[in-house]
Every structure is written in structure tokens, then in C-alpha cells.
Amino acid sequence: VSFKLIEEAWTAARKREEEYQQELKEQYKNAVEEEEFHTVLLGRPYTVLAEDMNKGIPGIFG
């Protein structure tokens, strides 16, 4: 694998990451404009999303 190929892949990945971040910002901006209550559940998917480990908390919100 050449350095040039690695550099091109890195550049493409960074560009896509920037696009993704912009998409997330737009989604959040649109959600905030709806003036709704927002909740973020933090944790590992196997604890936050597992019914037997999260005590039904996600169900309370949605």
C-alpha cells in the first residue's frame, strides 16, 4: 500500500466525517426548532438498550 493511497483514503475519510458532523448539526437544529423536550441516554448499547438492564427507562421517554 502506497503512501499516496493512504493519504487519499485519510482525506476522503476526514471529508466524510465533516459531512456527517454537519448532517448531525442540521438534524439537531431541526429538532430544536420543534421546541420539544430532548433526552439523551448515555451508556453502552448493551446496558442502555437491554430491557433487563435499563429498568425500562427508555420506554418512559418514548
% residues pLDDT > 90 (the chain): 40
pTM, 2 dp: 0.54
% residues pLDDT > 70 (the chain): 98
**Domain limits of the chain?**
3-61
35-50 burial code (b ≥16 CB/10 A, e <16)? eeeeeeeeeeeeeeee
pLDDT number for residue 31? 78
Flag whether pLDDT at 6 surpasses 90. Answer: yes
Flag whether pLDDT at 17 surpasses 90. Answer: yes
Report yes or no: 14 and 20 within 8 Å, Cβ to Cβ.
Answer: no
pLDDT number for residue 3? 97
